[in-house]
Structure 1
Amino acid sequence: MTIRTFRIMVRGVFDGLSDEQRAELLAAAPEHDVLRASFTREGHLSYDLSARAAFTFRFLDEGEAEEDILTATERAERTARDWLSERGYGHKNLRSQAEDLSQAPLGKRQRRAADAAR
């Protein structure tokens, strides 16, 4: 069976942060900059707290069947929720978006490379 790769984004908004928590997040902001964002197995958090209180976790997961994307999405949401809870960061409006890369359309360069390989 073919392994499918899933990219999952879990988005939300920080809510009710204390001054200490806000300062902690601002101090860690360079490692969570959106320009450094990537999809990882453990999840990569990005935010720009000086602009707005929104955040995004990016996860990379795998499965064998199309339905596995649901389990992967639940796992990503749970991991994001746990990370926030462990640090005491309030949040709201948590929502997810998942993509099965095996179903994603090929880009222009990928189509050219596939045509050249034939």
Structure 2
Amino acid sequence: MSLRIKAVVEKFIKELKEALEADMQDRVMKEREMQSYIEEREREVAEREAAWKAELARRETEISKQEARLKIERENLEKEKSVLMGTASDNQDGALEITVSGEKYRCLRFSKAKK
């Protein structure tokens, strides 16, 4: 009878060891899967971050270009304004004299706008 009990106990221990080994292997596999998932997510986040930074740099470059264009346009407008600014005066003969950029223009006949 003791041999039978011993055999039952040994069988139980063997099955318990097998179950423990299977459980440990399952945990190792789950840990590997989790680590793989984490690495994949980190890679995806890094890729999105890199794409976002590239887009941000592209937009900053575009803004700088637009600011430079606006500055040039403003300078051109100021030059154009200085060229177009002039003076107008009435002469004794009734002519309107306009001076623009040092050049004088005379209008001998003019009439008031109709209302």
TM-score tier by shorter-chain length is: under 0.3
Higher helix share: 2
Higher strand share: 1
TM-score (norm. length: structure 1): 0.20
Specify which structure has the bigger relative contact order, considering alpha-carbon pairs within 8 angstroms and separated by 6 or more residues: 1
TM-score (norm. length: structure 2): 0.21
Structure showing greater Rg: 2
